[in-house]
Amino acid sequence: MTIMKIQSLSRRQFLKNASPIIALVAPGINPSIAAELDRETYPDVVPGRQLVFPKDHGAHRDYRTEWWYLTAWLQSSNGPIGLQVTFFRSRTPYGRKNPSRFAPKQLILAHAALAIPEHGKLIHDQQSWRETKSVAQFSDLDTDLTIGLSNNRWRMKRTQSDQYEISIKADQFQFNITATPPAQMTAPVLQGDAGYSKKGSGAKQASYYYSRPQLQIEGEYQADGNKTAISGTGWLDHEWSSELLGKDAVGWDWVGLNFDDGSALMAFQMRSDSGSALFSTARHITANGQLRESNGPLQFEPLRFWISPRTSARYPVSLRLQTGLIDIVIEPLLDDQELDSRGSTGVIYWEGAVQVWLSQDIDRSGKKLKEPVARGYLELTGYAGDLSI
Amino acid sequence: MHFALIRWLAISCWRQQPAPLLAAIFAIAMGVSLGLGISLVNTSALNEFDNAISQINGEAQYQLTGALDWIDDDVLSMVEQSADVIAASPAISMNIPIDDRLNNKPTTLPLIALDIFRAAKVAPSLLPRADSSFAGGASSRVFSDNAIFLSAAAQRNLQLQAGDQLPVLINESTVILTVSGDVPGVSNDTSIAIMDIGAAQFSLGWLGKLSRIDLRLAEGVDAKDWLAALKQSNVVGAANVRLDRPDVKKQRMSNLSRAYRVNLNVLALVALLTGGFIVFATLDLAVTRLIPTLSLVSVLGANSVVRLRLVLILSVVLGVLGSLLGIVLGIALAWALLGLIGGDLGGGFFASTRPALSLPASSLALFFLLGVIAAMAGGLSPALKLKALSPAHALKSGQSLALESKMSPLMMSCLLFCAGALLLLLPAINGLPLAAYLAIACWLFAGVLVVSPLLGFIASALSRSSFTNASPLLMMAILRLNNAHSRAFPALAGVVASFALVCAMAIMVYSFRVSVDHWLEEILPASLYVRAPTTGTSGALNNELRASLSAIEGIDRIEFARSLDLIIDPEKPPVELIARTIDAANPGQSIPITGKLLNLSMKDDSCITIYVSEPASGIYDWAVGDTVLLPLPSDSTDPTCFQVGAIWRDYARQSGAIAINSADYKRLSNDASVSSASVWLKESANETELIGKIRAKLESLPALSIRSAEDIRTLSLTIFDRSFAVTYALEAVALLVSLFGVATTYSGEALSRMREFGMLRHLGITRRQIATLFVYESVFCISLGVLWGALVGSAISQVLIQRVNPQSFNWSMQTHWPLTQLLVAALVLVVLGACTATLAARKSAGRGPIDAVRTDW
C-alpha cells in the first residue's frame, strides 16, 4: 500500500515546485480542490476489470495518478543498506487542448533514497518533470520510465524476461540494479479483489494495485568512494487510480516485508486524529504466490519511539505487528530515516528499511534469541504535525 | 618642527580672513558633493539594474538566446540531448499590455513564463506561489491554463489580488488570466508576472517559440565548443543561437550608460576644478597679506620650508574640511535625488527605477581625495611663491612681491594648447573620450594661464591709446592693471575657468537641441503616427487591420513599418531593425541621411541595401559600401549579404538602428506583420476625428498609441530638456561657484590694498573716487575674464561637439550659438562682480587715511 508513499513523497519533495500534485494525488484532502478537479474527467476504478500483462505493467495515462515503487533490503561489503525508488505519474486537469510541447498534461516525478547506517541518515534525491520526449517519458505498453537529462538520468524498465532494470544517477549517489521475481512467483500478486483495491468507503475510492514481492536484487551502488556490489530482496508496487483517500486520515503506517522462507506480508493502517485505526488491512503471500487474508484484528503496537533531533517528531520506529496469522516485531536498520523537507515543503515523515523478528524469539528484556525472519520497508507518516497543506 | 609656529600663523590667517577661507571650503565642498552625489546615484541605479536583472535571470550559468527576440523550441530538444547539459530551463520573457489602474492608463508588465520544475534549478527566485485562499486550493493553480502570478509590487501597482481577473490583449484577442498568487522570491519592488510556459505558449501566441534557455553546463565543458556543436545540428534556428553569460545584460547596460555617466561626472568635477581655483585665489591673497609677518618671522629664523609647509597645510586643511562637508552634502544630495526623481538623472537608461542608496567606500574615498587634491593644487602656486620669498627684501620694500616662475605663463599656455590639440587626434579609449577630456583640461589651463599676460597686453595697449584721456580715474585703473597685471590673476583664473566651461556646455547643449529639433522635423513628415506594442513574436497589425486602416476616408497615404530588436554582438545592446518603405533611388526622402550615398558603381547587386544609423555605424564600425552579415531569420541556406547604402542621423536609439526596405525584409523573413504606421492626412481631414476613426478600427489592439507629429516633437524636446536638466543645474552651480570666486577675491583684494587706498586719500582722492577706481579695475578685469572665458569656452565646445559626443554617443551635430543665454550669463557675472567689488572698495576705502596707511603693518 503506497498511498502514503505518494502522499509523503509528493509533499516531501515536490510541494515547493509542484504543490498541485498533492491535489492531484489526494483530492480528498480538500473538498474544494476535488470539486474543481471533478470538472475534468478521469476514468473510474471499477471492480471486475481484469488486469492484463504485460500491458498493465505499462502506464495508464488516462487515470489521475499512478506509481511504480521499489524498496529493497540489501547486503553489501559495507553491511546492510536500504534502497527506495519511486516513479510517479500524474495526469493534470490542465492543458488538454493545448498543442504546446510544454502543456502540463502529464507530470512525471521520481524519488530515490539510500539508507546506509554509517551515514546516520538517508541520502536522497528527486526529480520532477512534465512529460517530455526522451527526457521524461513513460511507456503505455510496459514498465519503461525515463526521467532526467543524461547527466542525471533515472530509469526503470521491465525486460522481456520479466526483470526490472533500474539505474539512478544522482549528484550524491548512483546505483544500477536488476530485480528478478522468484521462480515460484512469476505472476504479479494482485492486491485487493483481483487487483481492485478499495481505499475508502466510497465506491470510487479505490485503485488498481499489484505487487512484486521477493524480488531478487543484484547490482552495485556508489555513494562515496568506490562502486560496491549489492544484493538482497526487494518489493515493487504498481498502482493506479483516479480517486483514493478518505478525508479524516491524518497519517498512515505501512509495511512491505519479504520473509526468509519466501513468503511476504503487506499491511497498513490509516490513522485518525485520535490515533485510532480508521481502516486497516494485511495480506500474506506464500512462497508460491498463494494469497492468505489475515483472520484476526490487525494491530500495530509501538514498542520504541525515536525523537528526531531536527523536528522533534516522535516516530514509533519499532513496532509489534499482529495480523492474526503472525506476531512480529519490526526494528529499523537505523533510527534516523526521517525525510525532513521543512526547507521546501514543511512536510516531514519517516520511511525506512526494517528487519523483522518473530515476537516469540524476543525475551522480556528485549534480547533477540534468534536471527531476524524478514526484511522490508516501513513507512510512518503524520507524526510531525498536521499533514494537510 | 615648527608646527606651533605654523599653527599660530594659520590661526592668525583665519582670524584675519574668515570669509574667503570659508568660501574656499564651501567651493571645494560644492565640487565634492556634486561629483559624489551624481556618482552615488549612478552607482545605485546600476546596482538596482543589476539586482533586477539577476532576479529575472536567476542563477543560470549561461543563457541561450537567438539574434531575434525568440528561438525555436526545437532547440531545447537539441540541448536536452547533449550529455554536457546539467540543467536547461526554457523561458519566455515578454511585456504584456495591461491597464495600470492606479494611473488609469495602459502600460506593460514584464512577464516570464517558465517550467517550474526546470526553473527550480536555475531560477528559484522566480517560482510562483499559489495563494492559499484561492477557491480550489492553492495547489491546483500552478499549472492552470489561465493562472498568472504577480509579484507583490505588481499586485500593488495594478491593484490586483489573488482571485482577480486580468484581461490581457494578445494579438487582437483578449485572454482572461486569473491572478493566482505571488512570486515570493523577488524583491518587494520588482514588478513581474510569472506564468506556466505551456500555458503562455498557447495563450500568449508563443507556440513553438521561446525567448531563451537558461543553461548549466557540466564542469569542464568548453562553452564555445559546445555551442559550435549545437550550431552544426540541423535544428531550425540553431544556426543563429548564441550563448551568453547572464551578466552580459548588466555589462550591456553598463557599457551603454557609461559614456553618459562619465560625462555627468566630468561635469561635476568642473565644479571641483573651479573650487581649486578659488582655493588658489584665496591662499594667494592670504599669502600676500601674510608676507610682512612671514618676512619678520623668517628673518627671526623660520626657513623657507616652514613657509612652504604653512601654505600647504592651510590648503590641506581647507581641502579636508571642504571634502568632509562635501561628502555629507553629496550623500544627502544622492539620497534626495533618489527619493525625488529616482535613479535616472536624465539619460533615460534607468527610467522608472527607485534604487536604494548604495554607499561604496571607494567612491567616498575617491571624492574625498579629489577634494583634497584640488585644494592642494590650488595651494601649490602660492606655496612655491612663498618659499622663494626673500624675507629681507620683502621687509625692506614693505610690500608684496611678484614672483616670476622659471617659465613664462605665455610659454606654458602655448605648450598646453599644443598638447591639447595633439590629444584631440587620439581616438576614444574603450568607448570613452578620455583623450578629449584631457584636451579640454589642457585648453582650459592654457586659457587660464594666458589671462594675466593678456590683461597686461591689453592694458598696456589701452594706456598708450587716447581712450584713457577722458577720465583720470580710468587712466589710473588701466595703468595699475598694466603694471600689476599678474596681481589680477587669482581673481581672473576662477572667472575664466568657470565661464569657459559654462559657455562650452551651453553651446554644446544648445547645438544638440537645435540639431534634435531639425532632425525631428525630418523624421516626422507624416501627420499621425500609430504604434501598437509588439506582444508576441510578430507585429500587431495584420493584413486585415492594415487594409481597414487604409480604407479610412480622409487618409491620403499610409506607410507601415515593422521594428524588432536584433542582437548583433552579445556584449552590446540590441540594434533596432526597422523595416519600412524606403525609396532606393532617393532614400533621403524617407530617412535623414548624413553624408554621401552609396555610389551606384560600388553597389553589390547580390546584397540587400540597408541604411544604418550614426550610432550603429559608430558602434559596429560600418561605413557606406561595407557589406555586413545580419542574423536575420532566413529560409535560404546561404547567409544573406547586406550592404550599407547610407548612414542616417538618429538621436533616438543610442544602441543603433538599421533601416531596411519592407519588401526586402518580408522576402527574407516571411514576416508580413507590422507594428507601426505613418499616416498622411488629406488637407480636408480633421485630425481629431481621424484619430477617433483609427482607434475604432484598431479597437482590439492593446496599448495603442496614436500621436501627431507635433505631439511627438514636443514630447521629444521635453524629454531632451529633462535629460539635460542635470547638466543645466551643474552649469548653474559652476557659475555660482565662480561668482563666489569673484566676491571673495575682490573683497580680499580690496582689503589688501587698504594701504594703497590710504595713500590715495592722502593725495586728495575722495572715497567715492577710490571706489570708482576700484570698480573700473574690477569691471575691466571681469569683463576681460568673461570675454576670454567665452572664447576659450567656444573652443572647448567644439571639442565637446566634434569629439566628446561622437566618441561617447556616436552621433554628430552642427554648432549653433546660444547668444542670448551667453550674453545674459556674461552680464550677470560682470554686474555681480562689479557690485561685489564696489561693496568691498567702499568698505576698505571707508577708513580714515592715516588709519589705513598704518593698519597694514
pLDDT digits (tens, 9 = 90+) for B132-146: 665 444 445 778 888
CB A88 within 8 A of CB A130: no
> ipTM greater than 0.90, yes or no?
no
So what's the pLDDT on residue A18?
33
Which chain B residues have a beta carbon less than 8 Å from that of A126?
A: none
Q: Tell which wins on pLDDT, A121 or A221.
A: A221
* Number of domains forming the structure of chain B: 4
Of the residues B245, B274, B289, which one is the last residue of a structural domain?
B245
B576 in the same domain as B466: no
Q: Tell which wins on pLDDT, B655 or B637.
A: B655
Q: Tell which wins on pLDDT, B815 or B462.
A: B815
Q: Would B357 be classed as within a structural domain?
A: yes
Q: Tell which wins on pLDDT, B756 or A218.
A: A218
Yes or no, beta carbons of A100 and B202 under 8 Å apart? yes
CB A40 within 8 A of CB A93: yes
B88's CB contacts (< 8 A; 6+ apart) are A149, B76, B79, B80, B118, B213, B214, B215, B216
Angle of helix B451-464 relative to helix B472-483, nearest 10 degrees, comes to 140
Give the highest mean pLDDT range of A211-215, B403-407, B588-592, B685-689.
A211-215
CB B540 within 8 A of CB B533: yes
Contact of B339 with chain A, judged by CB distance below 8 Å, is answered with: no
B154 in the same domain as B38: no
Residue B508 has pLDDT above 70, yes or no: yes
Residue B601 has pLDDT above 60, yes or no: yes
Q: Around Cβ B242, how many Cβ atoms within 10 Å?
A: 18
Of the residues B183, B212, B245, which one is the last residue of a structural domain?
B245
Distances (CA, A) of A31 to A11, A37, A245, B627: 18, 10, 11, 67
Options 2.60.40.10, 3.40.50.150, 2.40.370.10, 3.40.50.300; CATH of A3-380: 2.40.370.10
Residues 171 through 230 of chain B touching chain A, CB cutoff 8 Å: 196-199, 201-202, 207, 218
B63 in the same domain as B136: yes
> For chain A, which residues make up each domain, given as ranges?
3-380
B162-210 pLDDT, tens digit per residue, is: 888 888 877 667 788 889 888 888 878 778 899 999 999 988 888 888 9
Residue A242 has pLDDT above 60, yes or no: yes
Average pLDDT over residues B659-674: 81
So what's the pLDDT on residue B247?
67
Q: Tell which wins on pLDDT, A33 or B679.
A: B679
DSSP state of A152: G
Residue B378 has pLDDT above 70, yes or no: yes
Q: Find the CB nearest B140 among A23, A149, A150.
A: A23
- Going by pLDDT thresholds of 50, 70 and 90, the confidence category of residue A343 is very low
So what's the pLDDT on residue A386?
47
Yes or no, beta carbons of B143 and A135 under 8 Å apart? no
So what's the pLDDT on residue A19?
34
B396 in the same domain as B286: yes
In a mutational test of the A interface, the residue from B132, B143, B215 whose CB has the highest number of chain A CBs within 10 Å is: B143
B539 in the same domain as B480: no
B185 in the same domain as B220: yes
B217 in the same domain as B102: yes
Provide the residue type at B221 as one letter: V
B678-720 pLDDT, tens digit per residue, is: 888 888 878 888 888 887 777 766 567 788 888 888 888 887 7
Average pLDDT over residues A279-303: 84
| Min Cα–Cα distance to chain A from B618, Å | 42
B103 in the same domain as B227: yes
Residue B351 has pLDDT above 60, yes or no: no
Average pLDDT over residues B443-461: 85
- Going by pLDDT thresholds of 50, 70 and 90, the confidence category of residue A218 is very high
Q: Find the CB nearest B198 among A32, A35, A102.
A: A102
So what's the pLDDT on residue B328?
94
Of the residues B245, B280, B308, which one is the last residue of a structural domain?
B245
* CB-neighbour burial class of residue A129 (10 A; exposed 0-12, middle 13-18, buried 19+): buried
Please name the residue that has the C-alpha cell 510569472.
Answer: B194
Yes or no, beta carbons of A36 and B137 under 8 Å apart? yes
Yes or no, beta carbons of B86 and A149 under 8 Å apart? yes
| Min Cα–Cα distance to chain A from B221, Å | 13
Q: Would B446 be classed as within a structural domain?
A: no
Name the average pLDDT for chain B. Answer: 79
DSSP 3-state of B143: coil
So what's the pLDDT on residue A50?
93
B558 in the same domain as B464: no
Q: Would B180 be classed as within a structural domain?
A: yes
Q: Would B408 be classed as within a structural domain?
A: no
Closest residue, chain A, to B205 (C-alpha): A100
Among the listed residues A221, A248, A241, the one whose alpha carbon sits nearest the alpha carbon of residue A114:
A221
User: The domain containing residue B227 runs over which residues?
Assistant: 59-245
B292 in the same domain as B313: yes
DSSP 3-state of B576: strand
Average pLDDT over residues A180-207: 84
- Going by pLDDT thresholds of 50, 70 and 90, the confidence category of residue B55 is low
Yes or no, beta carbons of B81 and A150 under 8 Å apart? yes
Distance in angstroms between the alpha carbons of the first and the last residue of chain B: 27
